[in-house]
Structure 1
C-alpha cells in the first residue's frame, strides 16, 4: 500500500493537471442528431403505462426481463451453422429470436467473440431483428442492446466505425472538450447501429500500476480528475441517446487480481474509499447516469462477510442506493467471471445479486439455471414481488428515456450518415494528437530527422488490437512513419522475445539509422528489457514507445527518448508516429504517476509531467 498511497498523494497534488470537460466547443465535430432524455424524465402517464405493462407479465416473463444475455451470430434468426450450434450448446436455443421467445430476456450484449459485430450494417440489422423478436412476445417489450465500447484497450466494434483514444489517453489530454466529444461520437455511432447502452465509462481510479484488469481503461490516478472525465463521458454518451454505465462499483482501481479469474480484495478503509474511489461515482450520479455496473471484488471495510460487492447488500443498497442516493439501474458485471462464482453456485448468484440491490443480471454462464432460480425465488417469496416490480420499472424507465418504446429500430441510412464518417475520423485523430506524452528526451533525440535517421527499424510487441484495425502495432507504426517520409521496416519481437529474436533485431538494426521499440507492461524480469538493452548497445538512436500503461520507462534506465501512447490501436499509434516524426508537438501530460522501479514510493515522473519540443 505504501507505493500506491504515494501515487495518490502525487495525484492529489496535481489535480489541476486534467481540465474539466464540456461540450460547448465540440458539437461541430459530431454527426448525428442528439437524443437527450425527455425534459424532467418520463411523465406520470408513462410510469403508469409501464406499471400496467409489468402487471401483465408472468413470473417467468418478469424474471427474463432482468437478464442481459450473450447470443452467438450475426443475425437474429439465421446465424451461421457454427454459431447456431454454440447457441444450442450454451443456451439451448438456435438464435437470438428463440432466446427472446423462450426466456423473455430484457437485453442482449454484443461481443466480437460471439460474432455479433462484423460490420456496422450487419450490426444494425441484427439489432433490428432482435427488436422485432421483442415486439413479437406476448407482452411486447423492446430490448436494451448493449456492448463494451470503451475504446482504447476495450472495443467490441472496429473499423469502419470510428475508433477513439481510450480513457487514459483522454486523461492525458488537456483539451477541455475531448472526453465529451469522444463519448458523443461513440454514442452517436452506437445509436445508429441500434445499440442503446454502452458499458462505459470506466470510473475506476487506477492507483495501482500493477492492476492487471483496469490500467489504461481508467482515466488516471487522480480521483478528482477522473471524476471530471467520467462526468464528461456520461454527458457525451447520453447526449447521443445512449445509456452510459459507470463501472466497476465500488471501485476496481487498487487491485492486483483480475476478477475474471479470481476474487480481488480491496483493503481501503471507509475514509480511503471516500477519498479515492467514490468521487467518480458521485460525479457520474450527479451527471444523471442511467446505469452503474458492480464489481466482483471484496471490500472488508464495508462488508465483513467478504461477499463480493455484486452480492453485497451493505455495498449496493447501503452505500450505492442509500449513501450516494442512486436510484438508476444497477447491472452486474458478467456473472460467468470467477470473482462472483467462488463462494456460491450459479443458481444462488443471481438471486443473491437481486437481493443485494441489483436490477439487471449480465451474461450468466447458464441462463436456464439462473432463470429458473430467479423464478423459483419469486414463487417461494425469497424475492418479493414488489421489489422485483420496482427493479423492472427502473429498467423500463431507462428504455423509455432512451426512446426504445417510441422507436427501437435503425436503418442502413442512419448507419451511412453517422458511422465512421470522415468528420468523426478526423476528430479522432485531432484528439489523439493531444494525448501522446513525451516522458524523456535526453539530448534532444526526438523528433527523428529524415536526414539523419531516415531508415528506421520498428521492433517490439504486437499486442492484439480490436477487430477491423489496420494491423499489428509494429506494422502500423512502420507504415505511418514511411508515409511521413522515413523508410521504416517492421520486425515484431513479441512480449517475451527469445535471444534468437533479440539477435535478429540487432542484426536488422545494422542496416538502419534508428530504432523505435514498442513496449508493453515491462517488468523487472521482462525479456523486453534485454531487447531494448541490446539495441541500445549498438549505439544507434533508440526510441521507446509504451503502447499500454506509461510505466515501462521506469524499467528502462538506458533509454534516452521514451513516449507513452496509452494503447496500441491505430488512432493512438498514428498520433505517436506523428510526434516521433516531428509532425506534431507532444501535448499529453501524465494522468497517472510513473514510480521509480528501485524506489516505488517515489515518483520518477509525477502526474502532469510531459515534455514538448
Structure 2
C-alpha cells in the first residue's frame, strides 16, 4: 500500500494543466456559462399533458433482460419477472412510463447483432409511443470501446480512451466518436455514456485505468472535447463521466465508497479541466461518481447525492445546464448510507436528472413518487428535470420525426468498410513501443516461426474469442507460421513448462501480459521464456505499467487493450508493416522505487530511434 501511494503521488505531482487552450478557463473562479435562450414551448406542451406518474417515469433509465421488447426467451422473461416485476421491457415501459432504457451485452442478453439491436430499439419505441403521453425513449448504452464494449460483432471496433491518448490525435479522437456515434444512431441508440473524463493519476486505479485518456489534465481535456464533438456531430448524446473525477482512486465504487483526498487546488488543477472542456464543447450530459470528495463537500455525501457538488460546483461554478445522470444506482458506493427508496430521491434533490439502473425499479419509482406527493420534491423541481430530458430527446430528433430505425441506414453505416478502414488506421497510430534493445523489432525476414503465448483475456463482447489465438491469427494473416498457447493471468508451473517447451524451435516468442503485479506468475513466465535464448517480444494488452515488473526484455510494446482491432495493429507494428507511433499517455514508475519514473509520459520509440 505504501508503494502504491508513493506511485500515485508521483503521477499526481507530475500532472500539468494546459487545459486553458482547450477550455478557455482555468480555476474554480471561472464565470459560469450562460445558458442559451431556448424555445421550449413545444416541450412544455408535452410536459403539461403528463401525469405525475409519467413525469417520474421519465427520470428512470432501467436495465432489462432479453433481445426482444415483447417476446424475449422464457429464461429472460423469468428473470425480468423476478427482478423487475414484469415479463418484458414493453411491460416495464407501460407500468413505469420510463423515459429510457440501457442496453447491456452478456449478462442482460440485450445484444446479439446489429439487426437484432435495431429491432429491439424499434420495439422499445413502439411501447413508448403506446403510453397515454406518447414520448419516445432515449435509449442508452456504455459503448466506450477498448475494454468497455457492448456492441461487438457486426459493428466497427475502435481503440479505447488510453489508446487514443497514446495516439495523441484530436482528429482521430473526434473521428472515432463520430464513427461510433453514427453506428449507434443507426441502431436506434441516442445516448452513449462516453467519453470518460477522469484523469488517471493513480496507476493502482482498479476501475478507470485504460478507460481514461491519460494522466495529463490538459491532454485529457482536449481528447474529451474532441470525442464529445464527434459523438454529438453524429446525432448521439455524449456523456462526460465520472464527475467530479474518478481518476485517483484505489477502490472500485461498484463495491465500496472511494474517497478522493485531493485538495481543492488539486481538484481544480487535475480533475476539473476535462469537465470544463466537455462543457465548453457543448456536452449534453454528465455522469456523477459514487465517491466522497471532502474538499468539495465536507459532509462526505457521495457526489451523486451531494447538492454542494452537483448544484454548487457542477451547475453553479462550471455553469453546466444539461442533463446530470447518476452512475448506476445498484453500485455499492451510493448504497452505503441510505435505502434504495431514498437514494433516487436524494439524487434528485442533489441536482441529478436521469436515474440510471435502480436496483429495484418499483421501490425507486414509488420512492420518488411519494416524495413528490408529499412535497419533499416539488413538482417544479420534477418538471425541471423532465424538461432537460425532453430537450435531449428533441435535440436528437426523437420528438420531431420517426424514432424508428432504417434497414438501409443500418446496411450503409453499421460496420461499414470505410469505418473499419478508418478504425484500423487510427489504431495503428496508438501502439506504443517502450523498449527495443539491439533493434529486436521489427521482426527480421528469417523470423517466420512464432510462438504466441501468455495472458489471454476474453473479448469484451464475445467470450468465445480471446487474445492469444486472435493475436496468432493476426500474425498468420501476415504470412507467419504460428503456434499459440494461452497460459492465463496466473500460469501455474505446468503451464509455464509447456510454454518453455513450445518455444523450442521457434524463431521468436510474442508473450502477452495482462495487469502484472509484483507477485504475478506472469513475471515467472516471461523470465523463463527469456532464459530459453529465443528472442522474446513482450506485449502488454491492458495496462502500460506491466513493463516495470518484467526486467530486461528485448522488446516491449503496449496495445492498451485486447480487442481485435488493437491486436491486429500490434501485430502489424511487430512485423514492421507500420511504424510504432504511440506515446505513453501516463508515466510508468519503477517497481522497486515507485517514486522514480521508469518511462515518462510522452515516451515512445520508433524504428528509427
Structure 1 length as normaliser, TM-score? 0.94
Q: Whole-Å Cα distance in 1 between the matches of residues 195 and 75 of structure 2? A: 33
Question: Quick check: 2:11–2:201 contact (8 Å CA) kept in 1?
Answer: yes
Deviations 1:343-389 (Å, cap 9, x if unpaired)?
Answer: 11111100000000000100101000000000000001111110110
Q: Which residue of 2 aligns with 1:472?
A: 466
Q: Whole-Å Cα distance in 1 between the matches of residues 185 and 463 of structure 2? A: 21
Q: Which residue of 1 aligns with 2:52?
A: 59
Q: Whole-Å Cα distance in 2 between the matches of residues 358 and 560 of structure 1? A: 51
- Please state how far the C-alpha of 1:90 moved relative to its aligned partner: 0.6
Q: Which residue of 1 aligns with 2:410?
A: 415
Q: Whole-Å Cα distance in 2 between the matches of residues 405 and 508 of structure 1? A: 61
Question: Quick check: 2:22–2:277 contact (8 Å CA) kept in 1?
Answer: no
Alpha carbons of structure 1 residues 213 and 556: separation in structure 2 relative to 1, 3 Å: same
Q: Which residue of 1 aligns with 2:177?
A: 183
Verify: 1:359 aligned to 2:353, yes or no.
yes
- Please state how far the C-alpha of 1:6 moved relative to its aligned partner: 2.3
Q: Which residue of 2 aligns with 1:428?
A: 423
Alpha carbons of structure 1 residues 122 and 168: separation in structure 2 relative to 1, 3 Å: same
Verify: 1:84 aligned to 2:85, yes or no.
no
Question: Quick check: 2:453–2:486 contact (8 Å CA) kept in 1?
Answer: yes
Q: Whole-Å Cα distance in 1 between the matches of residues 14 and 534 of structure 2? A: 35
Question: Quick check: 1:158–1:467 contact (8 Å CA) kept in 2?
Answer: yes
- Please state how far the C-alpha of 1:43 moved relative to its aligned partner: 5.0
- Please state how far the C-alpha of 1:456 moved relative to its aligned partner: 0.9
- Please state how far the C-alpha of 1:50 moved relative to its aligned partner: 1.4
- Please state how far the C-alpha of 1:5 moved relative to its aligned partner: 3.4
Question: Quick check: 1:450–1:485 contact (8 Å CA) kept in 2?
Answer: no
- Please state how far the C-alpha of 1:8 moved relative to its aligned partner: 3.5
Corresponding residue pairs, total: 589
- Which of the residues 328, 340, 344 maps onto 1:334? 328
- Please state how far the C-alpha of 1:295 moved relative to its aligned partner: 0.4
Question: Quick check: 1:158–1:469 contact (8 Å CA) kept in 2?
Answer: no
Alpha carbons of structure 1 residues 457 and 42: separation in structure 2 relative to 1, 3 Å: farther
- Please state how far the C-alpha of 1:175 moved relative to its aligned partner: 3.2
Q: Which residue of 2 aligns with 1:118?
A: 112
Verify: 1:498 aligned to 2:502, yes or no.
no
- Which of the residues 564, 569, 579 maps onto 2:563? 569
Moved more, 301-310 or 184-193: 301-310
Alpha carbons of structure 1 residues 42 and 77: separation in structure 2 relative to 1, 3 Å: farther
- Which of the residues 55, 61, 64 maps onto 1:71? 64
Q: Whole-Å Cα distance in 1 between the matches of residues 463 and 219 of structure 2? A: 30
Question: Quick check: 1:157–1:466 contact (8 Å CA) kept in 2?
Answer: no
SS of 1:209 mapped into structure 2: coil
Q: Whole-Å Cα distance in 2 between the matches of residues 223 and 69 of structure 1? A: 33
Q: Whole-Å Cα distance in 2 between the matches of residues 408 and 289 of structure 1? A: 22
- Which of the residues 569, 577, 580 maps onto 2:574? 580
SS of 2:249 mapped into structure 1: coil
Deviations 1:147-184 (Å, cap 9, x if unpaired)?
Answer: 00000000100021000000000001133410000000
Q: Whole-Å Cα distance in 1 between the matches of residues 486 and 258 of structure 2? A: 34
Question: Quick check: 2:22–2:221 contact (8 Å CA) kept in 1?
Answer: no
Question: Quick check: 1:10–1:606 contact (8 Å CA) kept in 2?
Answer: no
- Please state how far the C-alpha of 1:322 moved relative to its aligned partner: 0.3
Question: Quick check: 1:335–1:363 contact (8 Å CA) kept in 2?
Answer: yes
Question: Quick check: 1:521–1:552 contact (8 Å CA) kept in 2?
Answer: yes
- Which of the residues 79, 102, 119 maps onto 1:109? 102
SS of 1:248 mapped into structure 2: strand
SS of 2:456 mapped into structure 1: coil
Q: Whole-Å Cα distance in 2 between the matches of residues 166 and 402 of structure 1? A: 25
Q: Whole-Å Cα distance in 2 between the matches of residues 85 and 501 of structure 1? A: 41
Q: Which residue of 2 aligns with 1:3?
A: 7
Q: Which residue of 2 aligns with 1:446?
A: 441
- Which of the residues 338, 349, 374 maps onto 2:343? 349
Q: Whole-Å Cα distance in 1 between the matches of residues 466 and 443 of structure 2? A: 22
Q: Whole-Å Cα distance in 2 between the matches of residues 72 and 120 of structure 1? A: 17
Question: Quick check: 1:433–1:584 contact (8 Å CA) kept in 2?
Answer: yes
Verify: 1:200 aligned to 2:194, yes or no.
yes
1:539-554 map, 5 Å: 539-554=533-548
Verify: 1:168 aligned to 2:162, yes or no.
yes
Question: Quick check: 1:11–1:222 contact (8 Å CA) kept in 2?
Answer: yes
SS of 1:591 mapped into structure 2: coil
Verify: 1:49 aligned to 2:14, yes or no.
no
Verify: 1:136 aligned to 2:130, yes or no.
yes
1:89-100 map, 5 Å: 89-100=82-93
Question: Quick check: 1:11–1:607 contact (8 Å CA) kept in 2?
Answer: no
- Which of the residues 588, 596, 602 maps onto 1:602? 596
Q: Which residue of 1 aligns with 2:293?
A: 299
